[in-house]
Amino acid sequence: MNLSELLTPQAVIASLKVNSKKQVLQELSKKASELTGQPERAIFEVLTERERLGTTGVGHGIAIPHGKLAALDRLYGVFARLETPVDFDAIDEQPVDLVFLLLAPETAGADHLKALARVSRLLRDRASCDKLRGTDSADAVYALLTESAASHAA
């Protein structure tokens, strides 16, 4: 699975101004609503419900909030580089500045897990994250995400 299957250039926010985890989830829900046609509130509720189970802040400044919505027809991704890192209750207690939202249909099963693994693999690569942190161009961020993902196929 390539990230270009999940992510469009319109799904990249190169410089998001937020002050809290809740605000991150609200802004990403708004963007995801535009892309999926699903209600912003429903997306936000799915994400906050998932966060109650345990943080999706995976460490090293990265969070991968995710959830499933019955009405989706395919997987969707939204990526944001935060202008200022925020507390995300991450497992390493470090603030987060790179966030990849993943939404899947309730029937996605293995595809959802494959997509999570793909995103996680890419964002574990320190060089890729340094490049993502070093640009504020949405087009450049999109290119980095989709090109890096192609070279990290495995």
Q: Which pTM was predicted?
A: 0.93
pLDDT at residue 108, rounded to an integer: 87
C-alpha to C-alpha distance for 26 and 28, rounded to whole angstroms: 6
Q: How many domains does the chain have?
A: 1
pLDDT at residue 153, rounded to an integer: 46
10-residue stretch averages of pLDDT, the chain, 154 residues long = 88 96 98 96 97 95 96 95 96 96 92 91 92 93 80 47
Q: Which CATH number goes with the domain that contains 77? A: 3.40.930.10
Domain ranges, residue 28: 3-151
Pairing of strands 57-59, 62-63: antiparallel
The three-state secondary structure class of 85 is: strand
pLDDT at residue 148, rounded to an integer: 58
pLDDT at residue 109, rounded to an integer: 80
Whether 66 is a known active-site residue: answer yes
pLDDT at residue 151, rounded to an integer: 52
Kindly report the number of other CB atoms within 10 A of residue 29's CB atom. Answer: 26
pLDDT at residue 154, rounded to an integer: 42
Single out the catalytic residue among 60, 66, 112, 152. 66
Residue given tokens 């200022």 in the structure block: 84
pLDDT at residue 150, rounded to an integer: 53
pLDDT at residue 55, rounded to an integer: 94
Terminal C-alpha separation, the chain = 9
